């Protein structure tokens, strides 16, 4: 009788578990994942997505019974819509200006030497 040594048993077990997981569907993402286009814009505010439209049937099962559906990205895109400082960027994003290495180097140098310039509280505004 031939015994399998411990060093070959664990890699075989890992391969079997990976195969079982792949065949059961736990490695498959939904066919169409939502992106930032699910956030709307009404001319003034960012509009969070309709979470019902993001509902996808679960591919996972428990003892052959499908798990409940999931609303992929609903919380993420609802939170993003609430955090947008300039909601018009959803429709027409501004282009990123050129980088200014001298300004960046100066900011890093001020940080390293402890001479950080405090924020100007008189010109800051509340987004409410």
Cβ contact 71:54 at 8 Å = yes
* 99 half-sphere exposure, CB direction, 13 A CA radius: 3
Domain boundaries defined on the chain: 29-92
Q: What is the DSSP letter of 73?
A: T
Query: What is the chain's pLDDT, residue by residue, as a tens digit (128 residues)?
Result: 455 554 555 567 667 666 666 555 555 555 567 777 888 889 888 998 888 888 877 777 777 777 777 787 888 889 988 888 888 888 888 888 899 999 999 999 999 999 988 877 777 655 44
- The DSSP bridge partners found for residue 40 are 47
State how far the Cα of 51 lies from the Cα of 58, in Å rounded to an integer.
Answer: 15
In the structure encoding, which two tokens stand for residue 121, read together? 């509280």
């Amino acid at each position: 009788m031939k015994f399998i040594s411990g060093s070959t048993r664990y890699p075989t077990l890992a391969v079997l578990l990976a195969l079982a997981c792949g065949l059961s569907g736990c490695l498959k993402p939904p066919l169409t994942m939502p992106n930032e286009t699910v956030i709307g814009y009404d001319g003034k505010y960012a509009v969070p997505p309709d979470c019902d439209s993001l509902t996808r049937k679960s591919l996972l099962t428990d003892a052959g019974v499908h798990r409940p559906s999931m609303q992929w990205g609903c919380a993420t895109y609802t939170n993003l819509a609430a955090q947008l400082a300039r909601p018009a960027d959803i429709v027409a994003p501004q282009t990123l200006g050129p980088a200014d290495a001298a300004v960046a180097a100066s900011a890093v140098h001020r940080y390293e030497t402890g001479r950080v310039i405090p924020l100007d509280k008189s010109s800051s505004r509340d987004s409410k």
